[in-house]
Amino acid sequence: MSYDKNSIEAKIGECGEKIVDMFISGDYGNVVAYKPMEGKPHQIDTMIIYGWDEKNMDQLQYDVKTKPKTFKYNDTGIDKSSWDIYKALKEKNKLPTYLFFVDWFEGCCYGGEIEDLGEPDRLAFGIVFWGLNKMDVNFDLTDSQIELLKSMWVKTKAGKYLSYYESIERYFK
């Protein structure tokens, strides 16, 4: 799969990562973040060490997906190949692996640790899906974040489905 760091999808992903990074830096306190080289494809967005001293330090790795829930079901998903990578990383380094979903339609960021999410509820078109009922809401997006993400999303191939979102209800709000 080719990766174009200048594509609208890459820019949306970077925006979502920055939003989550702001949450992490405020919520976890003393954080040291390890990120992949800028502009390169990567298996995981960030690995962090957090805590105030050596007795209370912990580690976490996470990946951010910046997209709305599916319009047909109350669920969201990731590429099966990514799911396989996350499971392998978790097995290899034993770190909690969290998935964040930054969702302009829901107006919030939700997610879960892959161990808590468990096996996906369904597989379709090479994507694994979990119900939103398995997700924890992490934080609300600001109005300006919602507008920015939505304005970028409508420029993608998926943007043609905007009218479907205008006719359904939100799950979390």
Q: Is 172 part of a structural domain of the chain?
A: no
CATH code of the domain in which 147 resides = 3.40.1350.10
Angle among Cα 150, 151, 156 to the nearest 5 degrees reads: 85
Residues 6+ apart with CB under 8 A from 107: 140, 141, 146, 170, 172, 173
Please give the distance of CA 106 from its chain centroid, rounded to a whole number.
13
Domain that includes residue 24, residue range: 8-165
**In a domain? residue 151:** yes
pTM: 0.91
How does pLDDT run across 127-161, given as a tens digit for each residue?
Answer: 999 999 999 999 999 999 999 999 999 999 999 99
Q: What is the pLDDT of residues 87-120, one digit of tens each?
A: 998 889 888 999 999 999 999 999 999 999 999 9
| 37 within a domain of the structure (yes/no) | yes
- H or E stretch including 30? none
Q: Is residue 79 part of a domain?
A: yes
**Domain count along the chain:** 1
1: in domain: no
